[in-house]
């Protein structure tokens, strides 16, 4: 039985338990004893007791049986020798598994013994198999299917028994003074807590997944040559050749990332800050009512659109402009730090302005009025009173913006170039950490080569970099808010 069918039956049992439970409890409602919980709480409690343990068991059973199956196939495979035709054991196991899946569509009694005969039969059913599937795998696959069927049936029986037992237990508990509501609410609270721990699980998932891959990467490339190497030349190796040649120097990528982010901040911070100041201090409510949503729309445009604007419109325009200025060869390349930084800066304007808007409006009215009352003009009040008072918050906002700039991907993928140069000329192309993560992981890839694993090392570096900036920024912003609350 497939787990989906079992799931459906379990839920059906739960629904039946709910209906019976509610009905039984409702019968008590007109009795002499005042019931503790409303009838539907009894129903829900029966539903939960029927469904939850059964689902838990089903999940554990499914995972357990797939692990058991893997081991089973592993044990049945012939000993690996130097002239094994399949590249690795893991590949061996996965080949058997896909073969087993395919065989399920065929009649088990008329199964041919060799792969050459099997392939056309399966192809007719629309199953394509890898060509390095071997003859000896066929009996193993058949056996694996049998084991899987047995495990599945056994699991289904236990699960359904547990569901029915849970339902009966809950239904027997129904009594006027039974505390069904408290039980249901306690479970709900656990559910809410579980939902909120997903954030922690995500962070753990991010760190662990990248950490493991990074450690594997550092087995073939030393951390020293990664963190301090000045040459990026990963040289995609042929599949299977190991391919630890090539150099993975982080420095050119880091430099490009920081350079482009710096250009972006040079554009975004003055413009964004000034528009926030204007919006908070000068703009009439009418202007505010129009400009604020417009800036929000600017913030809502996906970064791919900015990237395409940079590469299709702005890049060629700047190149032609510079060619016209010098009257010959252009000094701004089509893909350049300047173009990417400028467009990223435009993207960040609404980010800076909305963050600083909140911070500027949080400065207490009394400080403003005090300064204006002493005869300062509005701009003097802003420059000498409000901005200094808001400074910590603004620094936090700029840090958050910088972390956005460092992690931005689509604009730089399209507009910054792929060559890992080390240059100070802003009109040349440079590449970034995010560009290289995308480059190394798109296309056909062999998963365990350093060429792809390096992407995780880069990702971990990026994560660590932005994490520090975010935590510092959030700490500053929070401290600042508390100061004026």
Partner 1 sequence: MTDIPMDSMVRAAAHPRRDIGLKARYAAERRFRIYGALAISVGLAFLAIMLITIVSKGYTAFWQTTVTLPINFDEKLIDPSNKRATDPSVLIKANYPKLAERALIAKLGIDPSNKPMVMKLKGFLSEGARVQLRDIVAADPSVIGTTRDVNILAAANLDSAFKGQIDLSVEEARRKVSDQQITWMNKLKADGVMAEHFNTGLFSYGASSRPETSGMGVAIIGSFYMMVIVLLLALPIGVAASIYLEEFAKKNRLTDLIEVNINNLAAVPSIVFGLLGLAVFINFLGMPRSAAFVGGLVLTLMTLPTIIIATRAALAAVPPSIRSAALGLGASKMQMVFHHILPLAAPGILTGTIIGLARALGETAPLLLIGMVAFVADYPTTPFDPATALPVQIYMWANEAERAFVERMSGAIIILLVFLMAMNITAIVLRRRFERRW
232 bridge partner residues: 248
Separation of alpha carbons 136 and 118, rounded Å: 12
Give the nearest distance from C-beta 113 to partner 1 in angstroms: 29
- Site residues for partner 1, window 138-167 (CB under 8 A)? none
Closer residue to partner 1, CB minimum distance, 420 or 465: 465
CB-wise, 163 or 399, nearer to partner 1? Answer: 399
CA R_g for the chain: 32
| Element at 146 (helix H, strand E) | helix 137-173
Q: What's the min distance (Å) between Cβ of 337 and partner 1?
A: 19
203 binds partner 1 (CB under 8 A): yes
| Interacting residue with partner 1 among 77, 162, 346, 398 (CB under 8 A) | 346
Q: Least distance in Å: CB of 409 to partner 1?
A: 4
Closest among 38, 34, 39, 5 to 19, alpha carbons compared = 39
Does 120 bind partner 1 (CB under 8 A)? Our answer is no
Q: Is 303 in the site for partner 1 (CB under 8 A)?
A: yes
Nearer to partner 1, 23 or 197 (CB): 197
Binding of partner 1 at residue 129 (CB under 8 A)? no
The residue among 50 and 349 lying less far from partner 1, judged by its C-beta, is 349
Minimum Å distance from CB 164 to partner 1? 28
365 part of the interface to partner 1, by CB under 8 A = no
For residues 455 and 433, give the distance between their C-alpha atoms in angstroms, rounded to a whole number.
Answer: 9
Nearest one of 119, 112, 60, 68 to 95, comparing CA atoms = 119
Relative to beta strand 232-233, strand 247-248 is antiparallel
Judged by CB under 8 A, the stretch of 23-31, 138-146, 236-244, 270-278 that binds partner 1 is 270-278
* CA–CA dist 190, 140 (Å, integer): 44
Residue 455 structure tokens: 């992407």
224-263: contacts with partner 1 (CB under 8 A): none
| String of contacts with partner 1 for each residue 308-327, x by CB under 8 A | xx-xxx--------------
CA 104 to chain CA centroid, Å, is 35
Among 181, 220, 229, 258, binds partner 1 (CB under 8 A): 181
Stretch that binds partner 1, among 98-106, 145-153, 360-368, 401-409 (CB under 8 A): 401-409
**260-289 burial string, b = 16+ CB within 10 Å, else e?**
bbebbbebbbebbbebbbbbbeebeeeeee
Rule CB under 8 A: which of 408-467 touch partner 1?
408-410, 413-414, 434, 437-438, 441-442, 447, 455-456, 459, 462-463, 466-467
Stretches 135-143, 169-177, 296-304, 363-371: which one binds partner 1 (CB under 8 A)? 296-304
Q: From the centroid of its chain, how far is CA 92?
A: 30
Cα separation, 52 vs 402, whole angstroms = 45
Angle value at C-alpha 294, between 289 and 300, nearest 5 degrees: 135
Residues between 274 and 293 that touch partner 1 (CB under 8 A): 274-275, 277-279, 281-282, 291, 293
For partner 1, the closer of residues 124 and 198 by Cβ is 198
Report the distance separating Cα 138 and Cα 160, nearest Å: 33
Please state the φ and ψ torsions of residue 221, each to the nearest 5 degrees. -130, 130
Binding residue count for partner 1, defined by CB under 8 A: 89
How many whole angstroms separate alpha carbon 189 and alpha carbon 193?
A: 6
Distance CA 119, CA 142 (A): 15
Give the residue with the Cβ less far from partner 1, 42 or 167: 42
In whole angstroms, the minimum distance from the beta carbon of 92 to partner 1 comes to: 16
Residues 6 or more apart from 92 whose CB is under 8 A from it?
A: 77, 80, 84, 86, 137
- In angstroms, give the least distance from the CB of 107 to partner 1: 26
Give the nearer residue to partner 1 in terms of CB position, either 172 or 186. Answer: 186
Instruction: Find the angle CA(341)-CA(344)-CA(349) to the nearest 5 degrees.
Output: 120
Check residue 474 for interaction with partner 1 (CB under 8 A): yes
Measured from the CB atom, the residue of 111 and 378 that comes closer to partner 1 is 378
Query: Locate tokens 């445009």: which residue?
Result: 301
First to last CA, the chain: 61
The window from 107-115, 129-137, 157-165, 298-306 that contacts partner 1 (CB under 8 A) reads 298-306
* Residue 130 contacts partner 1 per CB under 8 A: no
Indicate whether 88 belongs to the interface with partner 1 (CB under 8 A).
no
Query: Would you state the structure tokens that stand for residue 396, as one six-digit string?
Result: 């936090």
Side-chain half-sphere exposure of 336, counting CA atoms within 13 A: 21
- The 23-62 contact track toward partner 1, x by CB under 8 A, reads ----------------------------------------
């Amino acid at each position: 039985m497939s787990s989906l069918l079992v799931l459906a039956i379990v839920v059906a049992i739960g629904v039946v338990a709910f209906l019976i439970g509610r009905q039984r409890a409702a019968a008590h409602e007109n009795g002499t004893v005042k019931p503790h919980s409303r009838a539907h709480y009894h129903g829900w409690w029966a539903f939960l007791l029927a469904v939850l343990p059964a689902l838990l068991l089903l999940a554990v059973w499914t995972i357990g049986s797939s692990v058991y199956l893997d081991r089973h196939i592993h044990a049945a495979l012939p000993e690996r020798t130097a002239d094994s035709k399949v590249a690795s054991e893991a590949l061996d196991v996965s080949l058997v598994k896909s073969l087993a899946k395919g065989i399920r569509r065929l009649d088990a009694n008329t199964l041919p013994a060799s792969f050459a005969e099997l392939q056309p039969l399966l192809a007719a059913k629309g199953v394509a198999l890898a060509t390095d599937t071997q003859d000896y795998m066929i009996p193993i696959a058949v056996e694996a299917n049998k084991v899987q069927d047995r495990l599945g049936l056994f699991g289904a029986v236990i699960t359904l028994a547990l569901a029915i037992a849970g339902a009966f237990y809950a239904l027997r508990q129904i009594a006027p003074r039974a505390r069904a509501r408290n039980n249901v609410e306690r479970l709900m609270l656990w559910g809410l807590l579980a939902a909120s721990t997903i954030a922690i699980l995500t962070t753990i998932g991010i760190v662990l997944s990248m950490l493991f891959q990074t450690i594997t990467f550092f087995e073939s490339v030393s951390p020293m040559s990664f963190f301090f190497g000045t040459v990026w030349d990963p040289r995609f190796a042929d599949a299977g050749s190991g391919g630890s040649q090539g150099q993975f120097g982080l420095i050119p990528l880091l430099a490009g990332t920081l350079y482009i982010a710096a250009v972006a901040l040079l554009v975004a911070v003055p413009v964004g800050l000034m528009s926030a100041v204007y919006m908070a201090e000068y703009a009439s409510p009418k202007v505010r009512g129009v400009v604020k949503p417009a800036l929000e729309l600017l913030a809502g445009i996906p970064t791919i659109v900015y990237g395409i604007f940079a590469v299709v419109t702005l890049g060629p325009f700047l190149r032609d402009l510079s060619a016209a200025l010098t009257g010959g060869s252009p000094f701004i390349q089509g893909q350049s730090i300047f173009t990417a930084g400028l467009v990223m800066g435009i993207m960040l304007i609404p980010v800076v302005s909305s963050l600083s808007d909140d911070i500027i409006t949080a400065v207490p009215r009394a400080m403003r009025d005090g300064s204006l009352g002493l005869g300062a003009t509005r701009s003097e009040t802003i420059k000498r009173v409000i901005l200094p008072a808001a400074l910590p918050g603004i620094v936090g906002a700029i840090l958050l913006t910088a972390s956005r700039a460092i992690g931005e991907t689509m604009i730089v993928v399209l507009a910054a170039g792929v060559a890992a140069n080390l240059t100070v000329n802003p009109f040349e192309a440079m590449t970034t950490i995010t560009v290289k993560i995308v480059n190394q992981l798109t296309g056909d890839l062999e998963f365990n080569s350093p060429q792809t694993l390096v992407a995780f090392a880069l990702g971990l570096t990026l994560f660590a970099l932005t994490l520090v900036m975010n935590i510092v920024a959030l700490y500053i912003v929070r401290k600042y808010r508390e100061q004026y609350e």
